[in-house]
Structure 1
């Protein structure tokens, strides 16, 4: 296996291992392994020990997977290498899921036994001015993305006759073409369809950041609100910039096919964008935490001393991961474990948004294969 293949394995598996390992420390202090608790219990010795065990095991397994993958990569042939990265990622995610479920059920039992949320002081805080604040960057920032896609389409159409009669659709780890097909309008324009699909996905993500349900800490609403607004704007910027880089990346594919420059240049560009995206995501995760929980404000208002806590809505969270509440009109809301947003799966539109990209990708691949 060449150096590029080793680099790709390390670039993907190392940041993933770091994020998985540190995930319990990046979530809100009012949630532990998908179970709601009062913030004062976050540093409870028993709960802290669970986080340490999770981090130790997932960290050790992730490191072993990375080392084993790099060793195996030197001994596998090209066909086997295609399965190495998905297998490595699969093992890491499987260990994460097994430990998460173990501690999720343990937290549920502990909460029931010890009463980790006071029943009498639960409250849902809603700020009526929240949606007047700048929560995410304007959708107008997707105009550059659309301009790049339009330029890519123009190149594909205007210079269609200059494209080679055989188009490379896939390369091996060593840069050797592994899938070559006859030129056709659908094949040449394939990167454009992917660009448009990605723009739609990133636009939905940016909208979800802006429109997602408020989650304000009842014990300290003012600071919680300020952190959450900063959190949303930072991740909106990440979405816009990394989305633009990926659109440019797919726009470079027709140029490589048209001009015939060495694929190693293209691969170096791909790796550069992957590195930028992953390192930025990891750094942002540690800086913000989920919902802005790790953000330090220059002037923090002291928490209220009235004993109010967030309303316990564990009954709507399946395994602490999937939110299903038919009475809640919200379509998007924050995840409970990890960083990011999820759906209210009780809303039919959530399933449409969730499944549509998958169906579109399958359709595009089918049409591309037919030429």
Structure 2
């Protein structure tokens, strides 16, 4: 899911130009936000089949990053927005994503997490570049609440895609819509490099402390004639208690049993958390067919300071979706490990 070099360079230059312009033009509130987040864990991993992978203990990055945001008013009802965010693999001491570390065709992996420019007005927000996708934001994010490297895998969709054009409406009477379109070269890096276009649409409705969302992730042909993912999510905040559920189903021409995108594959997630002062306890039970299958995820977060968090988690998967060798990533994936569990403790320091 990495951004092509010419596009990354163009967006980076565009952001740099916008930053220089806003510094010269803005004499009141600053429009630039520099940020960084160090997220590192110590883990003990035990695969179910040690004939394929020995148990080990080691250090792994939990999605550290550094970035710049801009949000500059261009008038009473128009603002320029932008973001450039780079991954930092603190365990391997490299500027890359700890999961998408690269392979023979892309030896550097994902070198950019986010690189986008946009305009926000009372009619909505339009954004171009590598960004969080509409379907993920609406459907998958409500159950993606953990802190370790093992967060976010209990879904079939992708988080960020290059060369995406998106639009989101303002919220009206609780309703909002969002949509995204990705050209074939951008989607090729998130759909097994198949030359196909990607289209997403999602709707949300918020009433009180409850949020309902539905979305479609049309992943393009992908060699199967069709490859669509339908999803629903429901979340509710009841004081210190947060509850969420997600359901996804593939509608594809893939009749091969046991594969990631087989027609009819379903994902069901049940998530709950309870906050007590500076401590939050989390639990997710999930069934993601052919991608982890039966999953149990338990976590505790403790906020030591506003900028420093301690976390500890237990993760168990019935078949292999995320477990890899020590400090490994996507290119080290081995489905024959047949699942296993991991225990991780770590820190998150924001600055």
TM-score by length of 1: 0.23
Q: Which has the higher contact order (CA 8 A, sep 6+)?
A: 1
Q: Which structure shows the higher helix fraction?
A: 1
Q: Which structure shows the higher strand fraction?
A: 2
Larger Rg: 1
